[in-house]
Structure 1
Amino acid sequence: MEERWVLGIWDGHDSGAALIKGEKILVAVNEERLTRRKLEVGFPGLSIEACLKHAGIRPADVGTVAASTTDPAKTLTRLLPSLKEEYYLIRRRKKAPRRADPLRRAFKYRFTELSPNFISRALSRRHLEGRLVGMGFEDFRLELVDHHAAHASAAAACCGFPEALVLTLDGVGDGLCGSLWILRDGALTPFCALPAHTSLGIFFEYVTNLMNMRELEDEGKVMALANYAYPIPDGENPLMDIIGTQGIEIVSPYSSTQMFRRLKEVLWRFPSEQFAYMAQRVIERSIAALAGEALKRTGMKRLAVAGGVFSNVKMNMQLVKIPALERLYVFPHMGDGGLAIGAALAANRTIHGVTACLLTDLYLGPEKIEKIGTAPNFPDTGDIRIRRLDDPAAEAARLILDGEIILWFQGRMEIGPRALGHRSILARPDDRALKDRLNLLLKKRVWYQPFCPSILIEDAPALLETEGQEIRDNRFMTMGFRVRPERLPLMEGVINIDGTCRPQFVDNEEPRYRDLLLHLKKELGFGVVLNTSFNLHGEPMVCTPGEAVAMLRQTGIRHLIMEDVLIENTHAENR
């Protein structure tokens, strides 16, 4: 048995698995990509199998398995999976809530605030060991990692900082809504725990729910809608009285259930965009104040963060304004979908003493795409024609410059919530009408939700206001940036109404995608493209070549470039 293999698993919201050996994350995948159910909540059996297959090992070869979160609520859903399945269906609007839903919500949030205890940890351990033994694991060590320790371990191991303050914030996990840690000389030491009963993540989750959106999924829509509100002074914002910070504590005069009722009382008085703006300002001000005070108390100059709250890139923009902060790193798979990686990194640190595991790219999916030939892989039919390309990047750039929307499928799949040039839909960045057509054909987003750009890293300072930032720290769409006024016409299709965007910065990690941007630069003056995830509305990103071709057939898109093959949908319109 090879003792150095560490398998991380997460069996909750956006479940998944990750396999680590030494200082390298070899493979990671979320279960949704394999079951085709967005933000899957089931046990990650398919993800585990995919990780082992990719590494060419058997379950019995794995010496350590790390799993996260053992609080009573999580343990109960392990023992009674029908509970989380029902919540999943209700949350995703697949099933109508029961009439007693308010009481169930109150119970759910009070129950999830409970911390792990001896019984819950023992029951979780027994359940997980049983599932793993059933898959063929033998003589393995099961490490149970605290929810926020897993988030913190991911940020600490991947940030590349010799010392930093580590901050985690999400809704709730293992009785906490967040935590503060000190990273110094490889050691990760707890500094402060933030109890779950006053959670900024739950606050924003409530706001999302009250605006008739899906909590744990549509918080980004709330952030986007906030841009359309009329700004008001923080002193006139009634939500500021509901929750905030004092020093390095999150404080509220309300319990979690009272907070929901209070937000509901405020909601009816304001338009939706104003309510969204007020909620956005609460988390921006509160978290910047908390982080600033923690930096001051610890004397740290660098900050590494993880947890679902940090998917809010507008809030992250406020963090970089903290005077004492020199550098900020946002772990790119910041939500619970990254807990498998975090748990594995925590166990790797504890058992093997490995403290750093830098992410040079996020192309960690389980499959290497074989070279695609002609028949019989994708035989020409009445609706599909294929031909091999000598220069796929040049052909893609030509089609994009000609005004086409193209599907782009390359190599191993990305991990995390963002498409980064391996499972992407690409288009010109300067055409708002093209953006609207993309929305109509494929994405079906709400009108106020923007698309994002991929940008050559060397062109970023000319396009964006990047002063004072080390942009390589956040090159995976984890930070918002303001577009320079003179570049707004070029970025018309990839900006918010307020002139900001959420970019990916492309260096040398993906040569073919970089080559595509270099071809675009010859015509546009800068290497920039509209990049959105390769999926239909409400579905996960495509994983396999077959799924990519199936989506081509379902849409009005004409061209898919897969590795060095052009696949044409002859039934599509020319534009």
Structure 2
Amino acid sequence: MVRENYKMYTLGVSCYFHDSSVAVLRDGELIFFILEDRFSRKKHDSSYPESAIEYVHKTIFNSEKLSSEDRVIYYEDNELKFLNILSEALEKYPFQWRGFFKAIPMWIFEKFWVKSKLAMSFSIPLKQVQMGDHHLSHAAYGYYASGFKESLVLCSDGFGDRASLSLYHFEGQDHEKFLSFDKKKSLGLIYTTFTTFFGFKANDGECSLMAISRFGKPIYKDKITKALRLDRNHIYTVEDRFFNFDLDSECFYTSEFLKEFGKPFKGKYTVSCFENMICSEGEQYYLDLASSFHEVFEEVYIQIFKEAFAKKGIRNFVFSGGVAQNCVLIAKLNELDFVDEIFIPLDPGDGGTAIGAAALAYVEKTGRYPNINQTFAGANLELNQRIIDNMPSLSACQLDSAQKATNVFDVLFQYEKVVAVFQDKMEVGPRALGNRSLLCRADHAEMVKTLSEDIKTRAYFRPYALIVLEEDAEVIVDDFKLNEQVMRMQTVVKIKEQYHRILKYGLHIDGTTRIQVINEKSDPFLYSLLLKVKEKIGIGALINTSFNESGFPLIHSPVDALYFFKSRPLGALVINDTWLTKVGD
């Protein structure tokens, strides 16, 4: 079957590292983006995105075939990545060969054939599948989503197919890489090293390190700078004896690291965002060390920004790569007086490279700018009434938007229960921005306790974020500036002290929070709800956290939402225009 009313499709695919994903551009416009983990329910799933591709075939193409003008782009250069791994193994022969041979089966049976596999999955000739560049895919997503005519683009992650950090100058179709650092100086891997040292899981617990760093004081910076420090000639220096990023390394820290910083943290942290608590002397050491590390980490990136500005004199920045998800770092960079604006794509991690790879291919083929800054481009799944009919423990009815807002408000303030919201297309990226959200009051201790312990199973040291009316954000936030960062929960802001009591459970211990600013245009439903909240408590603000259990990806389907709702002490579930409650509640 050949498509009618021809539109050119450019598809990006990312997989085999973490956050496998598929992006679909139609005539340069992002119309669909999904992570494979939404289907597999395995957070950060890195496997070949078979379910995502199958969904694209069924819902986007309606089983029609791609044309000869369409392209599929893989987010990095697989052959180059393998050569880098081989070179690394040879350089330290025989010490890295155990790790090399451990990785080989995955290459032999999967990675070497990714180009052929993509051609088969989309039923196209091999020549229509292109290889990309890891950091350039990050950079292209950020730049073409930003709307800047000219900008500096910083990509920083663990490592790509060539580098761990890259700086580009983008202007229109032209781009130039003017600075890069290899894996040996990987700031992303250093952050992961400290993440595991502080007792959290690599490639998932980095946000927890960011959270505990707010409980300490930076009194051990002299210790941290033995491992990572500023360098006038090289921007920063990484002390090799503290880190082991070799292929066969089971953990990234060395015996020298442990000699300097002590044993890795074991157990659970007792501190809480919601109240001042006195922890043990041993725990306080790790909190102070985390604070010290984070401050040095921030200083290094400040120096990188200064170096980039000194070289190019451009005031607009794009920040992409996994490190760009560090909202505490972003807040610090926002303070730099030579920076006009920092744009961060919605999914700056490896998932977003699928969008960037497709966007760059589109620009190179057509010379036109793509439209890829959509907040919501995921699956839009409808609730099947037959499923409800087979769940007699649930009561369902249809509501318009105004009545939904009224009902949600009543559950929050009259029944004092958390509400789950599942509506329209899924968010692009890891943040819940109202379409896959759990809503809770920021002034109610018991509701937040239930949210943390029984619904999310979330540690008390991890803060929640707020949705706030735009008119109120201007009042409650110190030095408020309206930009995409505060529309998308990408930075932290300081809340004025007089509002701490009423927003207590949506704040971190230092009075900061991530916010998503809401106005009537951005989300009419949440806007109506927050107006009612403002009428009740004086400020239009609620806790908004992701609709999932800790350790799992965002809820993907109505069926997932229903089973989550049935098994948790939630007051109500909104699925598009359907209002669901539990019989007897």
Look up the match of 1:151. 138
Paired with 1:223 and 1:109, the residues of 2 have a C-alpha distance of: 34
Residue 240 in 1 paired to residue 225 in 2?
A: yes
> Which amino acid letter does the alignment assign opposite residue 8 of structure 2?
R
Listed as ranges, the matches of 1:240-319 within 5 Å are: 240-246=225-231, 249-254=235-240, 256-257=243-244, 260-261=253-254, 262-268=256-262, 271-319=285-333
Paired with 1:253 and 1:565, the residues of 2 have a C-alpha distance of: 57
Paired with 1:111 and 1:244, the residues of 2 have a C-alpha distance of: 32
> Which amino acid letter does the alignment assign opposite residue 119 of structure 2?
V
- Alignment match of 1:480 (pick from 492, 497, 507): 492
Q: Describe the superposition over 1:107-128 as per-residue Cα deviations: whole angstroms up to 9, x where unpaired.
A: 479999xxxxxxx999999612
Residue 570 in 1 paired to residue 570 in 2?
A: no
> Which amino acid letter does the alignment assign opposite residue 11 of structure 2?
L
> Which amino acid letter does the alignment assign opposite residue 495 of structure 1?
L
Paired with 1:338 and 1:482, the residues of 2 have a C-alpha distance of: 29
Residue 521 in 1 paired to residue 534 in 2?
A: yes
**What secondary structure is seen at the aligned counterpart in 2 of 1:260?**
coil
The Cα shift of 1:413 comes to: 1.1
The Cα shift of 1:491 comes to: 1.5
Q: Describe the superposition over 1:85-113 as per-residue Cα deviations: whole angstroms up to 9, x where unpaired.
A: xxxxxxxxxxxxxxxxxx8899479999x
**Cα 1:106–1:205 shift into 2, 3 Å:** farther
Paired with 1:313 and 1:412, the residues of 2 have a C-alpha distance of: 25
**What secondary structure is seen at the aligned counterpart in 2 of 1:25?**
strand
Percent identity (aligned): 22
Paired with 1:532 and 1:108, the residues of 2 have a C-alpha distance of: 40
**What secondary structure is seen at the aligned counterpart in 2 of 1:407?**
strand
Look up the match of 1:406. 419
The Cα shift of 1:190 comes to: 1.8
**Cα 1:438–1:105 shift into 2, 3 Å:** farther
> Which amino acid letter does the alignment assign opposite residue 459 of structure 1?
D
Q: Describe the superposition over 1:360-410 as per-residue Cα deviations: whole angstroms up to 9, x where unpaired.
A: x4211122x44x58x534127442111222411221122122222111111
The Cα shift of 1:570 comes to: 3.1
Paired with 1:239 and 1:171, the residues of 2 have a C-alpha distance of: 19
Paired with 2:258 and 2:367, the residues of 1 have a C-alpha distance of: 48
Look up the match of 2:270. none
Paired with 1:207 and 1:329, the residues of 2 have a C-alpha distance of: 27
Listed as ranges, the matches of 1:157-172 within 5 Å are: 157-172=144-159
Paired with 1:55 and 1:326, the residues of 2 have a C-alpha distance of: 39
Q: Describe the superposition over 1:444-482 as per-residue Cα deviations: whole angstroms up to 9, x where unpaired.
A: 112200111112233222121244x44235421111111
The Cα shift of 1:238 comes to: 1.0
Look up the match of 1:8. 12
2:173–2:364 Cα contact (<8 Å) kept: no
2:168–2:179 Cα contact (<8 Å) kept: yes
Paired with 1:457 and 1:186, the residues of 2 have a C-alpha distance of: 35
Paired with 1:517 and 1:76, the residues of 2 have a C-alpha distance of: 54
**Cα 1:76–1:512 shift into 2, 3 Å:** farther
1:183–1:189 Cα contact (<8 Å) kept: yes
- Alignment match of 2:71 (pick from 64, 75, 78): 64
Paired with 2:429 and 2:493, the residues of 1 have a C-alpha distance of: 20
2:355–2:372 Cα contact (<8 Å) kept: no
The Cα shift of 1:313 comes to: 0.6
**What secondary structure is seen at the aligned counterpart in 1 of 2:395?**
strand
Paired with 1:421 and 1:328, the residues of 2 have a C-alpha distance of: 23
Paired with 2:98 and 2:335, the residues of 1 have a C-alpha distance of: 37
2:432–2:546 Cα contact (<8 Å) kept: yes
Look up the match of 1:509. 522
2:78–2:111 Cα contact (<8 Å) kept: no
**Cα 1:406–1:377 shift into 2, 3 Å:** same
The Cα shift of 1:77 comes to: 13
**Cα 1:287–1:526 shift into 2, 3 Å:** same
**Cα 1:523–1:196 shift into 2, 3 Å:** same
Q: Which stretch has the larger CA shift, 16-25 or 138-147?
A: 138-147
Look up the match of 2:478. 465
- Alignment match of 2:377 (pick from 346, 364, 367): 364
> Which amino acid letter does the alignment assign opposite residue 241 of structure 1?
K
Listed as ranges, the matches of 1:330-479 within 5 Å are: 330-359=344-373, 361-367=374-380, 369-370=381-382, 375-379=385-389, 381-390=391-400, 391-402=403-414, 403-467=416-480, 469-479=481-491
Paired with 1:13 and 1:499, the residues of 2 have a C-alpha distance of: 33
**What secondary structure is seen at the aligned counterpart in 2 of 1:176?**
coil
The Cα shift of 1:56 comes to: 3.0
Paired with 1:123 and 1:537, the residues of 2 have a C-alpha distance of: 32
Paired with 2:225 and 2:64, the residues of 1 have a C-alpha distance of: 51
Paired with 1:497 and 1:229, the residues of 2 have a C-alpha distance of: 10
- Matched residue count: 534
Q: Which stretch has the larger CA shift, 62-71 or 217-226?
A: 62-71
Paired with 1:294 and 1:40, the residues of 2 have a C-alpha distance of: 34
Paired with 2:117 and 2:482, the residues of 1 have a C-alpha distance of: 43
Q: Describe the superposition over 1:539-567 as per-residue Cα deviations: whole angstroms up to 9, x where unpaired.
A: 21111111101111111223111122221
- Alignment match of 2:168 (pick from 181, 190, 210): 181
Q: Describe the superposition over 1:29-55 as per-residue Cα deviations: whole angstroms up to 9, x where unpaired.
A: 000001111110100111122234332
1:558–1:570 Cα contact (<8 Å) kept: no
> Which amino acid letter does the alignment assign opposite residue 480 of structure 1?
V
**Cα 1:346–1:431 shift into 2, 3 Å:** same
- Alignment match of 2:178 (pick from 191, 203, 218): 191
The Cα shift of 1:494 comes to: 0.9
1:477–1:503 Cα contact (<8 Å) kept: yes
1:150–1:339 Cα contact (<8 Å) kept: yes
Q: Which stretch has the larger CA shift, 273-282 or 301-310?
A: 273-282
Q: Which stretch has the larger CA shift, 48-57 or 123-132?
A: 123-132
**Cα 1:152–1:550 shift into 2, 3 Å:** same
Paired with 1:363 and 1:50, the residues of 2 have a C-alpha distance of: 17
